[in-house]
Amino acid sequence: MAMEPERQSTSMALAKVNISTVGAPAAIGPYSQAVQLGGMLYASGQIALNPASGNLVEGGIREQTEQVFQNISAVLGAAGCSLGDVVKTTVFLKDMNDFAAMNEVYARHMALPEAVPPARSTVQVARLPKDALVEIEVIASIPAGH
């Protein structure tokens, strides 16, 4: 269920809109799950937290990547978007040796026949929050009328 967007003025002509949903883990700091600016959505990185329990899902990279996409989909949905609207992703991996397994799950969600795959960067990092194995952030184009 989506919460009512919170509008915040900026010095620009466009207003930033806070996008938040209980279908994804709540922001635990001074940041938004996503911010809409004009026709674009900038989503914070998601790790494999179960939104109901707040705990990291059990399993390896495949299970964690699957949960990450569930969380991303919930945030996108709160803004009237879907995975097909994503134009850029950044994938943070704890271990680049997990790339192939992560990429299998990624392809199921992002290589949609009706959509152009997004641009992507993938990097290995020293550590992720809660010692997660993967974090993914996205930028999406909001469909007209949303």
For the beta carbon of residue 59, count every other beta carbon within 10 angstroms.
13
Domains in the chain and their CATH numbers? 6-141 (3.30.1330.40)
Q: Supply the angle between the helices 99-110 and 61-78 in degrees, to the nearest 10.
A: 30
For residues 132 and 48, is the Cβ–Cβ distance under 8 A? yes
Per-residue pLDDT tens digits for 45-90: 999 999 999 999 999 999 999 999 999 999 999 999 999 999 999 9
Residue 5 has pLDDT above 90, yes or no: no
Specify the pLDDT at position 2.
54
In this prediction, residue 122 carries a pLDDT of 98
